[in-house]
Structure 1
Amino acid sequence: MTEFLYQNEASIRLSIFLSSFVLLAIFEHLKPKRPLTQPQLNRWANNFALLFSGTLIVRILLPAAAIGIAYLVERQQWGLVNHVDWPFWVSIVFSFIILDLAIYVQHILFHVLPLLWRVHRVHHSDLDCDTSTGLRFHPLEILMSILIKFITISVLGAPVIAVILFEITLNLLSMFTHSNLRLNKTFERVLRWFIVTPDMHRVHHSIRENETNSNFAFHLSIWDRLFGTYIAQPADGQLGMTIGLEPFRENHWQTFRGLLLMPFDAKIKGYAINDRDTKNADALSLAREVALQNQEKARLSTELSSYIQAIDQHALVSVTNAKGEIIRANKKFCDVSGYSEEELIGKDHRLINSGTHPASTFKDLWKTIASGKKWQGEICNRAKDGSLYWVDNTIIPALDEHGKIDRYISVRIDISDRKRHEAELKKAYDDLAKVNAHLETISRTDALTQIANRRYFDEVLANDISKLSRTNGEITLMLCDIDYFKKYNDTYGHPAGDAALQQVAQAIESSFSRAGDLVARYGGEEFAIILVSINKQTALKLAERMRHNIEALKLEHCDSDVNDVVTISVGVTTLPVDQQTSSAMVIEKVDKALYKAKESGRNNVQFIN
Structure 2
Amino acid sequence: MSETPTILIVDDVPANVGVLFDFLSSNGFEVLVARNGESALQIIETARPHLILLDIMMPGIDGFETCRRIKANKTTNEIPVIFMTALTDIVDKVKGFKLGAVDYVTKPFHQEEVLARVSTHLKIHYLQTELQDKNKELQEKEAALQKANKELADLVSQDGLTQIANRRRFDEYLQLQWAQMLRVNYPLTLMMCDVDFFKNYNDEYGHQAGDECLKQIATALTQCVKRSVDLVARYGGEEFALILPNTNQEGAMRIAEMIHQAIAQRQITHKKSKIANFITLSIGISSVIPTTENNPHLLISVADKALYRAKEQGRNQTVFQTFEIPPPL
Residue 75 of structure 1: aligned partner? none
Q: For 2:54 and 2:257, locate their aligned partners in 1 and report how far apart those are by CA, in whole Å.
A: 84
Post-superposition offset of 1:341: 9.4
Query: Residue 464 of structure 1 aligns to a residue in which SS?
Result: helix
Report sequence identity in percent: 33
Q: For 1:516 and 1:478, locate their aligned partners in 2 and report how far apart those are by CA, in whole Å.
A: 14
User: 8 Å contact 1:470–1:578 — kept in the other structure?
Assistant: no
For normalisation by structure 1, the TM-score amounts to 0.37
2:145 corresponds to which of 432, 438, 441: 432
The alignment's C-alpha RMSD in Å is 4.3
Post-superposition offset of 1:505: 1.4
Q: For 2:196 and 2:136, locate their aligned partners in 1 and report how far apart those are by CA, in whole Å.
A: 56
1:346 is the counterpart of 2:48? no
Residue 526 of structure 1: aligned partner? 239
1:556 is the counterpart of 2:269? yes
Query: Residue 469 of structure 1 aligns to a residue in which SS?
Result: helix
Residue 569 of structure 1: aligned partner? 282
Residue 229 of structure 2: aligned partner? 516
User: 8 Å contact 2:157–2:168 — kept in the other structure?
Assistant: yes
Post-superposition offset of 1:460: 1.8
Post-superposition offset of 1:423: 2.2
- Considering Cα pairs closer than 8 Å and 6+ residues apart, tell me whether 1 or 2 has the greater RCO: 2
- The alpha-carbon distance between structure 1 residues 336 and 441, as it changes in their structure 2 partners (threshold 3 A), is farther
1:603 corresponds to which of 308, 316, 321: 316
Post-superposition offset of 1:432: 2.2
Matched AA of 1:543 = A
User: 8 Å contact 2:24–2:31 — kept in the other structure?
Assistant: no
User: 8 Å contact 2:231–2:244 — kept in the other structure?
Assistant: yes
Matched AA of 2:304 = D
- The alpha-carbon distance between structure 1 residues 558 and 341, as it changes in their structure 2 partners (threshold 3 A), is closer
Query: Residue 595 of structure 1 aligns to a residue in which SS?
Result: helix
Q: For 1:473 and 1:584, locate their aligned partners in 2 and report how far apart those are by CA, in whole Å.
A: 18
Post-superposition offset of 1:595: 1.4
Query: Residue 184 of structure 2 aligns to a residue in which SS?
Result: coil
Render the CA deviation track for 1:184-240: whole Å, top value 9, x for unaligned: xxxxxxxxxxxxxxxxxxxxxxxxxxxxxxxxxxxxxxxxxxxxxxxxxxxxxxxxx
For normalisation by structure 2, the TM-score amounts to 0.65
Residue 582 of structure 1: aligned partner? 295
Matched AA of 2:261 = H
Matched AA of 2:177 = D
User: 8 Å contact 1:479–1:572 — kept in the other structure?
Assistant: yes
Length, aligned pairs only: 263
Unaligned segments of structure 1, at least 5 residues: 1-312, 363-368, 380-392, 399-408
Query: Residue 240 of structure 2 aligns to a residue in which SS?
Result: strand
Q: For 1:461 and 1:523, locate their aligned partners in 2 and report how far apart those are by CA, in whole Å.
A: 16
Render the CA deviation track for 1:13-63: whole Å, top value 9, x for unaligned: xxxxxxxxxxxxxxxxxxxxxxxxxxxxxxxxxxxxxxxxxxxxxxxxxxx
User: 8 Å contact 1:479–1:527 — kept in the other structure?
Assistant: yes
Residue 172 of structure 2: aligned partner? 459
Matched AA of 1:355 = N
Q: For 2:92 and 2:166, locate their aligned partners in 1 and report how far apart those are by CA, in whole Å.
A: 65
Post-superposition offset of 1:335: 6.7
2:254 corresponds to which of 526, 536, 541: 541
Render the CA deviation track for 1:486-533: whole Å, top value 9, x for unaligned: 111112111111111111111222222223221111110000111121
Query: Residue 468 of structure 1 aligns to a residue in which SS?
Result: helix
User: 8 Å contact 2:70–2:76 — kept in the other structure?
Assistant: no
Matched AA of 1:592 = K
Post-superposition offset of 1:585: 2.3
- The alpha-carbon distance between structure 1 residues 331 and 440, as it changes in their structure 2 partners (threshold 3 A), is farther
- The alpha-carbon distance between structure 1 residues 337 and 594, as it changes in their structure 2 partners (threshold 3 A), is farther
Q: For 1:599 and 1:478, locate their aligned partners in 2 and report how far apart those are by CA, in whole Å.
A: 17
Residue 45 of structure 2: aligned partner? none
Segment of structure 1 superposing worse, 474-483 or 577-586: 577-586
Query: Residue 461 of structure 1 aligns to a residue in which SS?
Result: helix
User: 8 Å contact 1:465–1:581 — kept in the other structure?
Assistant: no
Write out aligned runs for 1:21-420 (5 A): 331=24, 339-340=32-33, 344=53, 346=55, 348=63, 350=67, 353=71, 355-356=73-74, 395=103, 411-412=120-121, 413=123, 414-415=126-127, 416-420=129-133
Residue 186 of structure 2: aligned partner? 473
User: 8 Å contact 1:337–1:352 — kept in the other structure?
Assistant: no
Post-superposition offset of 1:336: 6.8
Render the CA deviation track for 1:311-341: whole Å, top value 9, x for unaligned: xx99x9x9x9xxxx99979739x97785359
User: 8 Å contact 1:491–1:559 — kept in the other structure?
Assistant: yes
More helix by share: 1
1:505 corresponds to which of 218, 221, 229: 218
1:490 is the counterpart of 2:166? no
Unaligned segments of structure 2, at least 5 residues: 41-52, 57-62, 81-89, 107-116, 323-329
2:163 corresponds to which of 450, 464, 472: 450
Q: For 2:213 and 2:54, locate their aligned partners in 1 and report how far apart those are by CA, in whole Å.
A: 79
User: 8 Å contact 1:570–1:604 — kept in the other structure?
Assistant: yes
User: 8 Å contact 2:194–2:239 — kept in the other structure?
Assistant: yes
User: 8 Å contact 1:573–1:607 — kept in the other structure?
Assistant: yes
Q: For 2:320 and 2:143, locate their aligned partners in 1 and report how far apart those are by CA, in whole Å.
A: 48
Q: For 2:178 and 2:29, locate their aligned partners in 1 and report how far apart those are by CA, in whole Å.
A: 63
More strand by share: 2
Query: Residue 138 of structure 2 aligns to a residue in which SS?
Result: helix
User: 8 Å contact 1:446–1:453 — kept in the other structure?
Assistant: yes
Matched AA of 2:284 = G
Render the CA deviation track for 1:115-143: whole Å, top value 9, x for unaligned: xxxxxxxxxxxxxxxxxxxxxxxxxxxxx
Query: Residue 257 of structure 2 aligns to a residue in which SS?
Result: helix
Residue 170 of structure 1: aligned partner? none
Query: Residue 183 of structure 2 aligns to a residue in which SS?
Result: coil
Matched AA of 1:339 = L
Q: For 1:473 and 1:512, locate their aligned partners in 2 and report how far apart those are by CA, in whole Å.
A: 19
